[in-house]
């Protein structure tokens, strides 16, 4: 089916209008062409969206959970029916392969379906009383929530915030990343068609420093749910502290993958390639630091390099492509600078290390899958998030050594372990500082399993049943059952 971009309107409190802020251009970095220019939100648009959200939210919060769940189900169905459209828009917006964006659209549909179910089945608690009263712990929506998302997997990260926040009875103001505004507007269309009451969702493309900042600092915003880089997250946490506002932060990573000598080598190589080079490495959980036990190091790395050279770098719409263009030429240049830094730090480039030579790819923001050896874990290349198809590989001696090296990093998002010794896998999984550990697999996700990071990788968890609670506040209610005056009053 032939696809087209829509008009330049944005979704302000349930109404499609022309934003009064600076225009935003979405680029197809795979060939440098422009997808669309949309109007950006202004401060007035933000105020209007907030006013409409304030008006709409109480009635939404007053609905029974199963009534909210019904609307969320319809959004899920709309997403599922629109997978091809969403995948196309997101592939144009981010240059990800269609295979991947189809999977992300399906996961967004599943996220709405899951949180519809959670909304309908989550219980409040009657707590055990210590006197003649009943006690209940109930949960209420926070009110207005700002969701700020990055460009790497927009439809999935949007859904991970919007679905639980709506399910919990809030209104949501979503600010997508400036490099990928289009797919979030598609989500707004689907939510509107599903009958989400006007005002409950706004999609406000605009610069982070302006629109994002306005949302974070606004007194009517009760919570910010942020996914993005660590330095941005830290800035937002300062602003949240000023307001004493809860904030959840899903941030960057520099995740270790550990290969023990007793692993299944074929499984490990396939998992490592997927863990670092899928999404062209633009993944917070990318397994970007590879530790290989010294006894197998050289032979393993040789096979890994051969397998990496065989990966297909190509156009996102070509079904054979495994590694596509990066999101933007500026980001490709940032990845290239890190590879230069690795050279300066004394690293050896085992493969890749530059944009591909093929003429057909020259207009795009491609970068070859790259493996670097010869660096210590202390090198900047090994400490900082590159967010591209770049893997550093280092040897280790034994379990204690790799746990120490793996944990010697400010991030704590994910870890991969490859070994056939189940007990060892479990020991290392518990000793490594990471929000998620994969054993003999990598980058697998279940919406029912919480996700988040420690240290510089963030604060809080998304997904899972408790993911809904992140958008609610708790209240305790005591009700006297005795009918007697309190003895302290010593009634005359």
Binding residues for ligand NAP, rule: CB under 6 A, are: 148-152, 157, 175, 177-178, 207-209, 212-213, 216, 227-229, 232, 235-236, 250-253, 284, 385, 387, 413, 453, 458
Looking at beta carbons only, is 35 or 77 nearer to ligand NAP?
A: 35
Q: Are strands 256-259 and 414-418 parallel, antiparallel or unpaired?
A: parallel
Helix axes 83-94, 65-81, angle to 10 degrees: 70
Looking at beta carbons only, is 211 or 323 nearer to ligand NAP?
A: 211
Q: Which residue of the set 250, 254, 263, 382 is catalytic?
A: 250
Could you list the beta-strand ranges (E) of 365-427. 370-373, 390-396, 411-412, 414-418
Q: How far apart are CA 57 and CA 144, in angstroms?
A: 8
Report in angstroms how near the CB of residue 323 gets to ligand NAP at its nearest. 18
Looking at beta carbons only, is 19 or 458 nearer to ligand NAP?
A: 458
Looking at beta carbons only, is 149 or 381 nearer to ligand NAP?
A: 149
Q: How far apart are CA 463 and CA 472, in angstroms?
A: 14
Query: How many residues are given for the chain?
Result: 492
Q: Exposure pattern of 339-359 as b/e (b: 16+ CB <10 Å)?
A: beebeebebebbbbbebbeee
Residue 193 bears catalytic tag: no
Instruction: Return the number of other C-beta atoms located less than 10 Å from residue 138's C-beta.
Output: 13
Residue 462 bears catalytic tag: yes
Residue 345 bears catalytic tag: no
Q: Which residue of the set 48, 96, 100, 161 is catalytic?
A: 161
Helix H segments across 170-263? 182-193, 213-217, 230-243
Looking at beta carbons only, is 314 or 452 nearer to ligand NAP?
A: 452
Give the containing element (helix H, strand E) for 86: helix 83-94
Looking at beta carbons only, is 212 or 256 nearer to ligand NAP?
A: 212
Looking at beta carbons only, is 74 or 96 nearer to ligand NAP?
A: 96
Looking at beta carbons only, is 233 or 316 nearer to ligand NAP?
A: 233
Q: Answer left, alpha or beta for residue 316, where phi above 0 means left and psi between -120 and 50 means alpha.
A: alpha
Looking at beta carbons only, is 152 or 278 nearer to ligand NAP?
A: 152
DSSP 346: T
Q: Which residue of the set 96, 175, 192, 284 is catalytic?
A: 284
Report in angstroms how near the CB of residue 235 gets to ligand NAP at its nearest. 5
Helix, strand and coil percent figures for the chain, each rounded to 5: 40, 20, 35
CB contact at 8 A, 366 and 28: no
* Integer-rounded Cα radius of gyration of the chain: 24
Q: Which residue of the set 186, 425, 462, 463 is catalytic?
A: 462
Q: Are strands 289-293 and 256-259 parallel, antiparallel or unpaired?
A: parallel
Residue 192 bears catalytic tag: no
Which phi and psi angles does 51 have, rounded to 5°?
A: -60, -45
Report in angstroms how near the CB of residue 456 gets to ligand NAP at its nearest. 10
Helix H segments across 122-229? 154-167, 182-193, 213-217
The per-residue DSSP string of 430-465 comes to HHS--SEEEES--S---TTS-B--EETTEES-BSST
Report in angstroms how near the CB of residue 71 gets to ligand NAP at its nearest. 26
Q: 43 in helix, strand or coil? A: helix
Helices and strands of the chain, counted as H and E runs: 15, 22
Report in angstroms how near the CB of residue 394 gets to ligand NAP at its nearest. 21
The per-residue DSSP string of 267-330 comes to HHHHHHHHHHHGGGG--TT---EEEEEHHHHHHHHHHHHHHHHTS-B--TTSTT-SB---S-HH
Instruction: Return the number of other C-beta atoms located less than 10 Å from residue 137's C-beta.
Output: 12
Q: Catalytic residue positions?
A: 161, 250, 284, 462
């Amino acid at each position: 089916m032939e696809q087209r971009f829509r008009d330049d309107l944005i979704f302000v409190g349930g109404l499609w209008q022309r934003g009064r802020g600076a225009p935003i251009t979405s680029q197809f970095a795979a060939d440098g062409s422009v997808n669309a220019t949309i109007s950006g939100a202004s401060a007035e648009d933000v105020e209007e969206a907030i006013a409409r959200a304030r008006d709409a939210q109480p009635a939404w919060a007053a609905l029974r959970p199963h009534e909210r769940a019904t609307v969320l189900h319809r959004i899920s169905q709309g997403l599922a029916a629109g997978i091809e459209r969403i995948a196309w828009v997101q592939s144009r917006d981010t240059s990800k392969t269609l295979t991947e964006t189809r999977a992300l659209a399906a996961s967004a549909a599943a996220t709405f379906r899951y949180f519809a179910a959670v909304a309908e089945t989550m219980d409040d608690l009657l707590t055990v009383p210590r006197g003649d009263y009943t006690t209940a712990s109930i949960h209420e929506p926070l009110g207005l929530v700002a969701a700020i998302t990055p460009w790497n997997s927009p439809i999935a990260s949007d859904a991970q915030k919007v679905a639980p926040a709506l399910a919990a009875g809030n209104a949501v103001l979503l600010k997508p990343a400036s490099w990928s505004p289009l797919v979030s507007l598609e989500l707004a269309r689907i939510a509107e068609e599903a009958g989400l009451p006007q005002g409950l969702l706004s999609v406000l493309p605009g610069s982070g420093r302006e629109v994002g900042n306005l949302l974070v600092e606004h007194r009517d915003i009760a919570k910010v749910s942020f996914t993005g880089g660590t330095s941005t997250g830290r800035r937002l946490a300062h602003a949240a502290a000023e307001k004493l506002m809860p904030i959840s932060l899903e941030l960057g990573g520099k995740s270790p993958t550990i290969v023990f000598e007793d692993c299944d080598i074929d499984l490990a190589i396939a998992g490592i390639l997927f863990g670092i080079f899928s999404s062209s490495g633009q993944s917070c959980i990318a397994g970007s630091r590879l530790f290989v036990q010294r006894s197998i190091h050289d032979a393993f790395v040789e096979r890994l390099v051969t397998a990496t050279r065989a990966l297909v770098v190509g156009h996102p719409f070509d079904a054979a492509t495994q590694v596509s263009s990066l999101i933007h030429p500026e980001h490709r240049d940032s990845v290239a600078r890190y590879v230069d830094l690795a050279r300066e730090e004394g690293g050896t480039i085992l493969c890749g290390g530059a944009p591909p030579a093929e003429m057909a790819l020259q207009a795009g923001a491609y970068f070859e899958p790259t493996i670097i050896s010869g660096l210590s874990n202390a090198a900047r290349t090994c400490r900082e998030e590159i967010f591209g198809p770049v893997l550093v590989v280092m040897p280790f001696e034994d379990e204690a050594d790799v746990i120490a090296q793996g944990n010697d990093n400010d991030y704590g998002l994910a870890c991969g372990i490859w070994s056939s010794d189940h007990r060892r896998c479990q020991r290392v999984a518990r000793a490594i500082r990471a929000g998620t550990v994969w054993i003999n697999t990598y980058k697998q996700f279940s919406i029912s399993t919480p996700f988040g990071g420690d240290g510089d990788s963030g604060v809080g968890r998304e997904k899972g049943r408790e993911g809904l609670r992140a958008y609610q506040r708790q209240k305790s209610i005591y009700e006297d059952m005795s009918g007697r005056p309190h003895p302290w009053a010593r009634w005359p």
